[in-house]
A and B are shown apart, each in its own frame.
Chain A
Amino acid sequence: MTDQFVVAPMLVALVTIVATLGTRRRLGAQIALSVAGALAYAGTVLVIVRRVVFSATASPATYQLGGWPAPFGITLVADALSAFMLSMVAIVGPAALVFSVSYMNPDEQRVFYHPLFHCLLLGVSGAFLTGDLFNLFVWFEVMLLSSYVFVAFYGKKKHTRAAFWYVVLNLIGSVVMLVAIGGLYAVTGTLNMADMARRLAAPATFGIEVGAVVGLSALLFVVFALKAGLVPFQFWVPAAYRAAPLPVTALLAGVTKKVGLYAVVRLYFTVFGGTELTVSIPGTDGNTVLAFYGIVLLCLATASVLVGGLGALDAASLEGVFAYSSISQIGFIVIPLAIGAASSVPAIQHLGVLAALVYALNHALAKSTLFMAAGTVRSAIGTSRLDDLGGIAARSPALAGVVFVAALSLVGIPPLTGFFGKLLVFDVALRAEAAFGLALLLGGTGLTIAYTTRMWNRAFWGTETPAVSASSPARLQIAVVVALSACILVVGLGFDPVYRFADAAASAATDRGAYIEAVGLSGGEGA
């Protein structure tokens, strides 16, 4: 079965890169093409979502590149999980692009801003769609290469320094990833993720040493934790996020961070999850590779929630608060994953992934809104240091309202999207009777309330500083953030279809058999 539409988002992004490169001497045409490309991208994602999740004959779609059958060729797979992640890109990407048209000054936009932006989209969609481990590496590199340039974009002292750390760290990450992938290929004899899942479900038949798989998957896990910015691999996050242009930071926090998360869900739940270990893991009731990662994930999540929350309490600027908050929120996303992984009950595993996905959606919407709102503050007032701000709520009620909605969604107030994320996370913690998880959630929520309140009190309430009084935020920027915060409200109010979507995505992540069959490997022969 070949479904050509799977490749459409990547093709659209690629065509837009070429088109915007070709028109770089005429800024007006370039911007028009770039925005049109982003909208077309969202359209193709909509087609995929409709076909894969919401149609009467919904089923995962695959595309075998060059017509080579599955274990040999490169496979692109769009199942509900990929579609869910892609739809986050489709919401945040075009919004960030329209925002940056107004935010970046024309000279900066002329410096390859638009082609690079679409290059980032291309890398992210490739990573979400590929069904091949080595291609995951390649798409990671495509995504990272454009993000390197964005971190170094302004080219001043602190940007070059932040970019250098970021580049070297990610290059080391790439080396580790390459080593892990090479090792996994040598041990399992395949790179196709569905084929690997099939072989790992019966390691004895294929002569696979399970111990080696655990070690190599742990090596791979380090890389994904680095990309997701989990503690102890978080140190690059604040510097890189403060250095990149703010609309791009919105995309980095809202979407590219989720690529690491997606890889964790896809590989550890779908691919490695079924492998039995001969030892039982303390603190879990399973003896699979997945249960092992349950404990690892819980440790990382705990550290992330605390470090991120405390860092956000101490940050000096709006971007600083949001960057540290992003570390903490990734911790929240990982808690239900950890609880699900540590449990051997399929229902709890399913609910764990479901909760993580809904929370990830909330984080993508709320955090990109906040970063863009910080961008509006910065371009209108000229600074985003908390010491220099005050009284924005009186000066620009629309902007303050947007930040208010997004911050409440981070805390988890109904009827916003964040409420359902929190609700599901608490639900899974209660069902799995994970007392530690519950305590962590409560403590982390306390921290979230503390840092959002601090940010709100210092920047948005109080007396107007002279800088704030003289400002007038740009209309287009306000419109984009208002639209995004309306999204948070709409997703929260009309949660039922989103729940069904996330439910289908969680099923896709935990149902190994369906994934293997979708790629066309059910009988061990290529389709």
Chain B
Amino acid sequence: MTAFALATVLGLLFAAGTYLLLRRDLLRVVWGVTILSQAANVYLVTMGGIVEPSAEGVPVLASHGGHVPQTTDPLVQALVLTAIVISFAMTAFALVLTYRVYQEHHTLDLTTLGGEP
């Protein structure tokens, strides 16, 4: 059930991101990219799954001793943390760049911005 819900959410996020990416407004394009990268992050978390913990998958547990409850794969969480930081920085940069494009061209409309520079 969880897998089904996650798959639906992922599909919706990717669809929304792609839709925004194809808009004419520059800011919506940035939003689209942001949503797409969030979708990738959610996807990354789901890739770990919930497994019986063992020293093979979670090396820290080797020295833990005793019983440990079910855990998700900690590696994907570490990966997502990195990916979030990167996509956050990229979004900030893309927003600043959008502002600069507006300053230079006085428009955020992609069609008036022109094609081949």
Residues of A that sit less than 8 Å from B by CB:
68, 72, 134, 137-138, 141, 145, 148, 152, 155-158, 160-165, 167-168, 171-172, 174-175, 178-179, 182-183, 185-186, 191, 239, 242-243
Contacts and interface: CB of A to CB of B under 8 A. Distances in A.
A242 B116 CA distance: 12
Nearest to A149: B93
Contacts of A186: 47-49
B103 to A, nearest CB: 8
A175 B41 CA distance: 9
A161 B90 contact: no
B16 interface: no
A182 B104 CA distance: 39
Q: What's the dominant secondary structure at chain A's contact region? A: helix
Interface string B66-102: 0000000001100100110011011001100110110
Contact of B97 (A141, A158, A160, A182): A160
Contacts of A156: 104
Given A145-B93, A172-B36, A182-B40, A160 B100 contact: yes
Interface of B: 21, 26, 29-30, 33, 36-37, 39-41, 43-44, 47-49, 59, 75-76, 79, 82-83, 86-87, 89-90, 93-94, 97-98, 100-101, 104-105, 113-114, 116-117
9 contacts: A138-B82, A167-B90, A172-B36, A175-B40, A178-B41, A182-B40, A183-B47, A185-B79, A186-B49
Given A155-B100, A160-B100, 13 more contacts: A72-B59, A138-B86, A141-B86, A145-B93, A157-B104, A164-B94, A167-B97, A168-B94, A178-B40, A182-B47, A185-B75, A185-B76, A239-B117
Contacts of A175: 33, 36-37, 39-40
Contacts of A174: 37, 86-87, 90
A168 B105 contact: no
A156 B26 CA distance: 17
Contacts of B90: 141, 145, 167, 171, 174
B117 to A, nearest CB: 5
A68 B78 CA distance: 16
Given A155-B100, A183-B47, A167 B89 contact: no
B40 A179 contact: yes
Contact of A157 (B40, B47, B93, B105): B105
B32 to A, nearest CB: 9
Contacts of A242: 117
A315 B41 CA distance: 41
A179 B97 contact: no
B94 A167 contact: yes
Nearest to A177: B40
Contacts of B87: 171, 174
Contact of B43 (A155, A158, A179, A243): A179
A262 B47 CA distance: 27
Contacts of A145: 89-90, 93
A178 B83 contact: yes
B101 to A, nearest CB: 5
A163 B41 CA distance: 25
Given A152-B100, A174-B90, A182-B43, A239 B79 contact: no
B117 A171 contact: no
Contacts of B29: 168
Nearest to A140: B86
B82 A162 contact: no
A239 B43 contact: no
Contacts of B116: 239
B44 A171 contact: no
Which of A148, A156, A174, A243: most chain B Cβ within 10 A? A174
A457 B57 CA distance: 64
Nearest to A156: B104
Contacts of B82: 134, 138
A178 B44 contact: yes
A482 B34 CA distance: 45
A152 to B, nearest CB: 6
Contacts of A137: 83
Contact of A172 (B33, B59, B98, B113): B33
Contacts of A171: 33, 36-37, 87, 90, 94
Contacts of A239: 116-117
Nearest to A169: B33
Nearest to B44: A182
B33 A161 contact: no
A167 B30 CA distance: 10
Contacts of A162: 117
A242 B59 CA distance: 49
Nearest to A191: B75
A164 B97 contact: yes
A157 B114 CA distance: 11
